[in-house]
Chains A and B, each alone.
Chain A
Amino acid sequence: MSTRIDIHEDRLNAIFHALSNPTRRGLLARLCEANLTIGELAAPLEMSLPAVSKHVRVLEAAGLLRREVDGRVHRCSFDAEPLESAAEWIARYRAFWTDTLAALADHVEQP
């Protein structure tokens, strides 16, 4: 049985970096609703296309966004799979610390 946390370090780092920015989180939330082109992603934001493209590249590097290129149109879609890894990390450590604090309580509260 593996004793290590099964985490791919670079991948998780990319995910956390991607999600650390509120603009990127907003882009991702909209992509949850619909596949959008970069132009459509940029339209409601007061941000240039290159700036949005940069955010899209960070999301893409994290595996959270997939891009389909059709001529000059880049259509983006959301990929949930990397979030499962990050959410799994959080869930594992939440369980770990909950159980560890329970053990601490038993240790100090027993006479």
Chain B
Amino acid sequence: MSQPLVVSRTIRATPQRLFDAWTDPRQLVRWWGPAHVECVEAEVDLREGGRYRLENRVAGGGHVTISGEFIRVRPPDELVYTWSTDDGASPLEQVTVRFVPAEAGMTVVEVQHARIADVEVREQHAVGWEGCFDGLSELVEHTPHRLV
């Protein structure tokens, strides 16, 4: 499936510095996640076919494990991996992270997060999910919720 969700941020650091932060377990436990989620344990086997696991504590109690397998590892440009928040039984989501150099020592970090519904959908090219939902969501009122 094409990317329904793309989030990016320009950060003052080199692509290599950011790629390392994203893949080094010692750094992941220091920064990973939104404010109310703390990564307490990280394991990363950084190679295509290798697995990763992030154990996270949630503010207010509770625990969530994120795990998956690396599909593509191209330092410092790109990482592609599957993503599952259960025990990794059947990964249905895929994350692509790109570290794109910009001017003046900055890097654009771009995250694409896709659901892989089925093979037919996966093989389609850019479908423009956000545009689709933007149009139809004018008819729907919804409130964004926090992940956890």
Contacts and interface: CB of A to CB of B under 8 A. Distances in A.
Contacts of B92: 9, 13
B146 A92 contact: yes
B116 to A, nearest CB: 9
Q: Which of A1, A98, A107 has the most CB of B within 10 A?
A: A107
Interface residues of A, number: 43
A84 B142 contact: yes
A100 B5 CA distance: 14
Contacts of A94: 5, 7, 144
Interface of B: 1, 4-5, 7-9, 11-13, 17-18, 21-22, 27, 30-35, 58, 60-64, 85-86, 92, 109, 111, 113, 115, 117-118, 120-121, 124, 127, 129-130, 132-133, 135-137, 139-140, 142, 144-148
Q: Which 6 A-B pairs have the closest CB atoms?
A: A99-B34, A91-B144, A107-B31, A3-B62, A97-B7, A101-B9
12 contacts: A2-B62, A12-B115, A13-B117, A17-B118, A32-B136, A32-B139, A83-B137, A95-B144, A97-B7, A99-B34, A102-B9, A104-B31
